[in-house]
Amino acid sequence: MTPTALRLPCFAACALAATLSLAACSKSAEPAATAAASPYAAVARGRVDIEGGLLTLNMPREGVLANVAVHEGDTVKQGQLLAALDTRPAQLAVDSAQAQLEQAQAQLKLLAVKQAAAKLRAQRLAAAAAAGAGDGQSADDAHEASAQLDAEQAADQAASDMAAQKLAEAKYELAQRSLHAPFDATVVHVTAQPGASVSSADALFTLLPDKPRIVRAELNESFVGTVHPGMRAEVVANDDAENGKWNAHVLRIGQVYGPATLENDPQTRANARTVECVLAFDQAEQQLRIGQRVIVRFMPDGKP
């Protein structure tokens, strides 16, 4: 048998083996492609937040802190005192304005008595002069005196109003020496202590308002046309824990593109363009922490 004849069976065997190998690879690739297909309309990174974010509070006026009434972790109600400055100078101003107002009001009462008597005397002298039983000049003088008292009363009334205004200003300044919670909240951070000198630019308290949690997701530009308000979504913790899944729905989608700030890869973060997508939880989820990173999986329409 010639060498050429011997090679032919070898070539046939190799061709058969290659054909079987390709067939096996194509069959194994089919399940992999099926597994790679995602059941979600879109996926985005996000973080937990609240509408408006955390609130930082400063003292309205500068001064020395006399009292810090709360600590980190405390739950406060609307109107509850957080801190107060030394109020003695402001209280002295209130007392002084109150005394001026009382003096002006007493002067008005005295003038009211004098004015009533002057008007009565002017009326009597005018009637006597008209009947020929009195002096006309005396009647004129009495009328002039009554008119002068009217003018003094108007001036004193203006002084009384001014004193009332000064008292209101002094009370307002006294109130500015105290800081109260604007709404129900949790005290997250405190940088104030009694005896410290503070200004209106110093951030003393950081509050977490008692509001529902939301998710701010960074939606990639390729998914902007797919996601819409009202769309259902699943929010999962980054560790994908079994108890770390929550149902949510899309509230709104932003109109401005921005960088991807939540991406871990610096190159992806620099090149990707995203739109903010805000979601609300179907049920209150107070266990989630502000700033916690999550993954948002948007469900296709009509699917739970």
Residues 224 and 266 in one domain: yes
The answer to whether residue 139 is domain-embedded is yes
Residue 123 pLDDT: 74
Residue 140 pLDDT: 67
Tokens of 197: 């000198």
The answer to whether residue 122 is domain-embedded is yes
Backbone phi, then psi, for 223, in 5-degree steps?
A: -105, 0
Residues 191-243 pLDDT 10s: 999 999 999 899 999 999 999 999 999 999 999 999 999 999 999 987 655 56
Residues 48 and 78 in one domain: no
**Mean pLDDT computed over 124-149:** 71
Residue 68 pLDDT: 95
Residues 160-204 pLDDT 10s: 899 999 999 999 999 999 999 999 999 999 999 999 999 989 999
**210 CB contacts (<8 Å, ≥6 apart)?**
183, 184, 185, 186
The answer to whether residue 239 is domain-embedded is yes
pTM confidence score: 0.67
More confident residue, 12 or 160: 160
Residues 168 and 184 in one domain: no
Check whether 52 has a pLDDT greater than 80. Answer: yes
The answer to whether residue 136 is domain-embedded is yes
Classified as helix, coil or strand, 127 is helix
Residues 67 and 200 in one domain: yes
Residues 60 and 201 in one domain: yes
**Mean pLDDT computed over 293-300:** 94
Check whether 94 has a pLDDT greater than 80. Answer: yes
The answer to whether residue 235 is domain-embedded is yes
Q: Which amino acid does the sequence have at 14?
A: C
Mean pLDDT computed over every residue of the chain: 82
Residue 32 pLDDT: 37
Going by pLDDT thresholds of 50, 70 and 90, the confidence category of residue 266 is confident
Number of independent structural domains in the chain: 3
By the 10 Å C-beta count (0-12 exposed, 13-18 middle, 19+ buried), 236 is classed as: middle
CA 243, 244, 245, 247 dihedral sign is positive
The domain of 132 spans 88-175
* Residue whose tokens read 């079987």: 20
In degrees, to the nearest 5, what angle opens at C-alpha 145 toward C-alphas 142 and 149? 140
The answer to whether residue 1 is domain-embedded is no
More confident residue, 14 or 163: 163
Question: Looking at 72-76, 96-100, 147-151, which range is the least confident one?
Answer: 147-151
